[in-house]
Amino acid sequence: MKALPFLLVLFLCPSAWSLQSAFLGSVEGLSIPNSHEVSSDANGARVVRGMEPRNKAQIQELLDSGIEEVLIFKTDTKGEVAKEIAQLQNAGLSASAITHVPFPWKDLHDYKAACRMTIEALKTIEKSVKAGRSIYFHCTVGEDRTGYLAGLWGLWTGEFESAAQAFKSEMCARGYEAGNPRKPYKEVVAKIRETLTPTYLKMARVLEDARARGQNLHGSLCNQEPVIENAAAFRCVSKRN
């Protein structure tokens, strides 16, 4: 029997896309899928998002492009985080330049835990930028948790004026939940809508309130869980769902 063309296999088996972003990157010198510059400042510090680097060559590309710190925003499921950290250190990054925040993509039922991990990740990015150092952050595919964090960073810096704008422009446009039409619905999209999107909306409220009050990023921002009522309105549109 002849092998089906690669793209046809992906169409018939959409789960094949679940661990590989279908989105091309836009950062010169990076072959990592869905890699994009989220922000940059006058001092040259860049914040770059994307899929996890899958080999030594892609890690070297990050360093060659000027990345000086890496934030791994995901749980370690099969030892891949420990492997990446070892590869980053072997490539020349110090342990202090690598941060791992074990943020899950589903079943986010503990608000305070999710909030504190999010604040930790945002503080890591902020500290890197203030030090004039470029940082790369990623989850596994570079679409859901990565989009979540990119949207919140844009809200915190004022790049986006509202949670809705960040959701559409930064998250859905780069593959968040159904923004990637080949992402499995029941296995992934529905679960993201269940807890990750509501967590995004709660964190957006927390950050917007903190900015208005002139507060800094701190774990105390997580003491009071916001009440949201419009989570169902935040859904990415695709041809499938």
Burial 73-95 (b: 16+ CB within 10 A, else e): bbbeeeeebeebbebbeeeebee
User: What pLDDT band is residue 6 in, cutting at 50, 70 and 90?
Assistant: very low
pLDDT tens for each residue of 66-98 = 999 999 999 999 999 999 999 999 999 999 999
Task: Please name each of the domains of the chain with its CATH number.
Answer: 19-233 (3.90.190.10)
d(CA 172, CA 144) in angstroms, rounded, equals: 9
Q: What is the mean pLDDT of residues 99-112?
A: 97
Residue among 88, 7, 94, 92 at smallest CA distance from 52: 88
Q: What is the mean pLDDT of residues 143-162?
A: 97
Q: Cα-atom radius of gyration of the chain, to the nearest Å?
A: 18
